[in-house]
Amino acid sequence: MTTIDTSRSSALINDARRRIPGGVNSPVRAFAAVDGDPIFIARGEGCWLVDEDGNRFLDLIGSWGPLILGHAHPEVVAAATAALQNGSSFGAPTAAEVLFAQELCDAHPALDQVRLCSSGTEATMHAIRLARGFTGRDIVIKMDGCYHGAHDSMLVKAGSGVATFAKPGSPGIPESVASMTRTAPFNDLAAIEATLREGNVAAVILEAVTGNMGCIEPAIGYLSGLRELTQEHGALLIVDEVMTGFRLARGGACERYAIDADLVALGKIVGGGFPLAAFGGRADIMSRLSPVGPVYQAGTLSGNPVAVAAGRTTVKLLTSAVYEELENVGADLEARLADSIRERGCSMARVGSMFTIFFRGDRPKNFSEVSECDMAAFGRFHRAALNHGIYFPPSQYEACFLPSGMSEDERDHLVEGIRRALRES
């Protein structure tokens, strides 16, 4: 078994921990779930990451989803650089953001109008406020295991029971705030219906294909059932496409599964690797936003011109040929790994270029089934994959993302490395 040298990363994490809590600026980067230490990245090139020790890894994280075109794509770099030379931020309208809004509305079936912000957290936070302001209701239903950013009303966990009052997901979130959120298991329509019947539900929000508890595909009839139930009870359907938008299709999960969402949140890919996100939807709902309507929302760096340039270029490059390529590469990977995955007692879930290898014989359908995975084995797999030059997300509860533009050799490296890591886990 090979073991790579990570001595510079080890020295850096010790320094980092003195001045940054846990040494990281977002907790999942600490590799705690796989009992490891983070790797410090020096640069990215296409589908590769190069760390501070000079190790090269085929990157299946892609900055947690944005880098569908790979690292430092020359056209994205050129567009961002050109925009930067004209000034980095104005806090005033620009022509490019108007074009971008039109392009986003053309690409995504749910968008009549859209507003830009700076992170996925903001996008869902504002979409939820807007849903509450529009309906005049307070309760929001989320699915157990879906992630919608780190704001108070969504950073909650399921209580006991099937459809329940949420509990604060962190100290610092008041019980009273968490109690305005209800949770239900993913893929369970009966639980949603029971909560909707209680009344006062402003919105149901979900990841239509989950990434934040690993990749789980919606059961047949689940999404159309949610649409019918929300309509019947006067609640809005918010599809959080921060991960799936421009990932599963140009029009995201809404296009792929023909979902008629009222509001959607976008992020990750739309920013082309820069801090940019968006939320939007039906014009009658969006027109409730300030300054036309009473629902307040704002952001100093919203529509940042450098991020808009990178986002526009990324979205422009995402042609149907790219989605066809990603589908083929994903299907080929799944087929070539099938035997090794079965022999190891694992399962693989994949939708387009999103996938997860679960250390569980059957693909999970919800969060509690993901929790049954052999987490210790996943940790061993993660370490072995790093030693074989593959950068997997450091948690069983995450999805992998394939970038476009991988060569035959790079795809072989991926298959061989994963096969070996499965054997060593």
Ligand X SMILES: *Cc1c(COP(=O)(O)O)cnc(C)c1O
Give the binding range for ligand X (CB under 6 A) out of 125-133, 141-149, 217-225, 304-312. 141-149
Closest distance to ligand X from the beta carbon of 305 (Å)? 19
Question: Could you say which of 23, 149, 214, 379 contacts ligand X (CB under 6 A)?
Answer: 149
**Strand 48-51 with 164-165, pairing:** unpaired
Q: Interface mask (CB under 6 A) for ligand X, residues 117-136, using x and -?
A: --xxx--x------------
Please, how many CA atoms are within 13 Å of residue 182, restricted to the half-sphere of its CB? 23
Told to judge if 222 belongs to the known catalytic residues of this protein, a careful annotator would answer no
Give the rounded distance of the alpha carbon of 363 from its chain centre.
19
Give dist(CA 279, CA 28) in Å, integer: 25
Write out the H or E segment, with its range, that includes residue 201: strand 201-206
Catalytic residue of the set 142, 268, 365, 397: 268
> Contact between 207 and ligand X (CB under 6 A)?
yes
Catalytic residue of the set 142, 147, 188, 323: 147
Give the binding range for ligand X (CB under 6 A) out of 4-12, 113-121, 166-174, 195-203. 113-121
User: For ligand X, how many residues bind (rule: CB under 6 A)?
Assistant: 15
Give the binding range for ligand X (CB under 6 A) out of 103-111, 114-122, 297-305, 354-362. 114-122
Q: Name the nearest CA neighbour of 52 among 60, 43, 61.
A: 43
Question: Could you say which of 38, 185, 218, 267 contacts ligand X (CB under 6 A)?
Answer: 267
Q: Please, is 277 exposed, middle or buried when counting C-beta atoms within 10 Å of its C-beta (0-12, 13-18, 19+)? A: buried
Give dist(CA 201, CA 141) in Å, integer: 7
Please state the φ and ψ torsions of residue 308, each to the nearest 5 degrees. Answer: -60, -40
Catalytic residue of the set 51, 240, 257, 323: 240
The CA-based angle 425-144-391, given to 5 degrees, is 30
Told to judge if 147 belongs to the known catalytic residues of this protein, a careful annotator would answer yes
Closest distance to ligand X from the beta carbon of 354 (Å)? 11
Considering beta carbons, is residue 51 or 122 the nearer one to ligand X? Answer: 122
> Contact between 142 and ligand X (CB under 6 A)?
no
Give dist(CA 227, CA 196) in Å, integer: 12
Considering beta carbons, is residue 60 or 346 the nearer one to ligand X? Answer: 60
Q: Interface mask (CB under 6 A) for ligand X, residues 23-62, using x and -?
A: ----------------------------------------
DSSP 261-315: -SEEEE-GGGGTTSS-EEEEE-HHHHTTBTTTSSB----TTTT-HHHHHHHHHHH
Q: Interface mask (CB under 6 A) for ligand X, residues 211-250, using x and -?
A: xx---------------------------x-xx-------
Question: Could you say which of 31, 134, 147, 355 contacts ligand X (CB under 6 A)?
Answer: 147
Closest distance to ligand X from the beta carbon of 256 (Å)? 15
> Contact, 252 vs 264, CB < 8 A?
yes
Could you tell me if residue 111 is left (phi over 0), alpha (psi between -120 and 50 degrees) or otherwise beta?
beta
Considering beta carbons, is residue 223 or 418 the nearer one to ligand X? Answer: 223
Give the binding range for ligand X (CB under 6 A) out of 147-155, 190-198, 249-257, 409-417. 147-155
Give dist(CA 142, CA 210) in Å, integer: 12
**Structure-derived torsion over alpha carbons of residues 309, 310, 314, 317, reported in degrees to the nearest 10:** 50
Told to judge if 365 belongs to the known catalytic residues of this protein, a careful annotator would answer no
SS3 of 263, please?
strand
Residue 82 in tokens = 């050109």
Active-site residue set = 147, 240, 268
Q: Where on the chain is the footprint of ligand X (CB under 6 A)?
A: 119-121, 124, 147-149, 207, 211-212, 240, 242-243, 267, 277
